[in-house]
Amino acid sequence: MKNTNILLAGSTGYLGSYLLKVLIEKQNQVIAIARNPNKVEHRNEDYLEVKQAEVTNPETLRDICKGINIVISTVGITRQKDGLTYMDVDYQANMNLLKEAVKSEVQHFVYVSAINGNFHRNLKIFEAKEKFVDALKSSGVAYTIIRPNGFFSDMKDFLRMANSGRVYLFGSGNQKFNPIHGEDLARAIVDMLDENTNEITIGGPDVLSLNDISKLALSALNKPIKIVHMPDFLRRITIWGLRIFTSAKTYGPIEFFLTLMAEDNIAPPFGNRHLSDYYNQEAKNFI
């Protein structure tokens, strides 16, 4: 894919910044929208224009898709930062973008949900994300829904726990998944822009159990292997308690991680970046 006009929303985030890097590398013309343009890491006058826009405010998006062929959105709440709900951001902000895309007859809209989101609509995050997926599918715009496994950036939680000397897991720790590096995922997404793929589930090259990941994190920090297994009913009580005593803004991200990590989530593998290398690199920031 080369020299296509692409609007990228989410370019200041983990995945978005790798997408921006790869899109520019492949010489696409990119408009990156950001609420804080100073946060956009890449600069390239030949291929990149950064526009200030607030995806939650439709006024700031007016005509943003004029002349655009493809919209890619990685906009979503991963860790709660600004008091908005998943419905405000993962659903409504993406709807604001989609409305502009439809108006300007954009050819293709790429949206990043997450692995098995369609089977977990009871979770607050997926209630919003999958509502957007439904709207995108019926919008008339050609679409690709990306369903990635956990990102390496989110696997840093294990390093943080390991840094305290112990990793705490619910259940046996044998639940397996294949997390993916942001750059591998970005390359897969950009490669896919030429194809008519409607929906794809994708993970990294290594299938690892939670025990494996804990050991990698402890080893990267040169700590002895100490993994504490807590009974799974405590996980369920934690989710239940948080749902009762806190707002969706608090419990949403926690129920998402605690639910997906309680089951195997193995996606078709892609890429060549390994979590062990990522941990060895990141561990330097912990010492």
Ligand X SMILES: NC(=O)c1ccc[n+]([C@@H]2O[C@H](COP(=O)([O-])OP(=O)(O)OC[C@H]3O[C@@H](n4cnc5c(N)ncnc54)[C@H](OP(=O)(O)O)[C@@H]3O)[C@@H](O)[C@H]2O)c1
Which residues are near ligand X by CB under 6 A?
10, 12-16, 35-36, 39, 55-56, 74-78, 82, 84, 89, 112, 114, 148, 150-151, 153-154
CA angle 176, 178, 183 (to 5 degrees): 160
Q: Which helix (DSSP H) or strand (DSSP E) does residue 14 occupy?
A: helix 14-25
Which residue in the shown chain puts its C-beta closest to ligand X? Answer: 13
Report the nearest approach of ligand X to the CB of residue 13 (Å). Answer: 2
Q: Which is nearer to ligand X, 39 or 66 (CB)?
A: 39
Report the nearest approach of ligand X to the CB of residue 222 (Å). Answer: 26
Residue 231 DSSP one-character state:
P
The answer to whether residues 2 and 191 touch, using CB atoms and an 8 Å cutoff, is no
Report the nearest approach of ligand X to the CB of residue 224 (Å). Answer: 28
Report the nearest approach of ligand X to the CB of residue 231 (Å). Answer: 25
Residue 150 DSSP one-character state:
-
Q: Where are the alpha helices (DSSP H) in 26-147?
A: 86, 94-103, 124-137
Q: Which is nearer to ligand X, 78 or 139 (CB)?
A: 78
Report the nearest approach of ligand X to the CB of residue 67 (Å). Answer: 22
Q: Which is nearer to ligand X, 80 or 223 (CB)?
A: 80
Q: Which is nearer to ligand X, 122 or 222 (CB)?
A: 122
Q: Which is nearer to ligand X, 89 or 208 (CB)?
A: 89
